[in-house]
Each structure stands twice: as structure tokens, then as C-alpha cells.
Amino acid sequence: MFPKPAGQLMRIDLSYNEIDSLPGNFFVEMPSLVEIILSGNELKSIDQGTWNPVWEKLSKVLLFDNKIECGESIMWIKRTRRPKLIEGNCAAPKNMVGRQIIDVYKT
């Protein structure tokens, strides 16, 4: 998806671009990535398969002002024991609207 020089990319900021989903291979050629900023988009989910190539090296993921559905589909984050690196709010289901994504894993 990105040119090979993206292999040295450590930070990517794609805020406010109306992104509603990420291709499954989006992070494959970005092994050095440690910070991802996707705030202000239309994302509804955080797909494990998409994030696997970079997940263990990440130190920060910003997802504020998206449409993240904080349900079963993102519980994989809790199982990885790295939920603290994500900052953002839930947009669904109704009982979680406005809650921090990290707070979902404390219950």
C-alpha cells in the first residue's frame, strides 16, 4: 500500500481524513511504526488482523472522535495485555457511548 521507504516510518498521522476502515494489509510494510494517530475519522472497529503486524511495537494509538464500537470485536485488545496504548472514546453500544476505550477493559 505504501512505498518501501515506509519501512522506516515511526509515526503516522492520518487524522481528519474521513477514513472509515483500514485495509487488512495497511501496516504490513511499516515494521518500525510506534505511533499511530487516526483521530477524527469514521472508524468503527479495530480489526486485529490489520493491526497485528505493528501491535507489539506500538507505544501510542490515538483514536479520538471516531465511531468505535466497543463490543466483542475489539476484546482482542484486552487479551494482548496492551490496552493502555489506545486513547479514544466509544461511540457504541449505547451503554458505552463516551467512555474511554481503555475503560471498557477494566470491567
Count of beta carbons in the 10 Å neighbourhood of residue 81: 8
Report the C-alpha gap between 38 and 48 in whole angstroms.
16
Report the C-alpha gap between 55 and 27 in whole angstroms.
9
Return phi, psi of residue 92, to 5°.
Answer: -160, 160
Q: Report pLDDT for 83.
A: 63
Helix spans in the chain (H): 48-51, 76-79, 101-104
Mean pLDDT of 32-53: 96
Q: What is the pLDDT of residues 1-29, one digit of tens each?
A: 555 668 899 999 999 999 999 999 999 99
- The domain segmentation of the chain, as residue ranges, is 11-106
Q: Just give the CATH number of 11-106.
A: 3.80.10.10
Q: What is the pLDDT of residues 49-70, one digit of tens each?
A: 999 999 999 999 999 999 999 9
The whole-chain average pLDDT of the chain stands at 90
Least confident of 26-30, 69-73, 79-83: 79-83
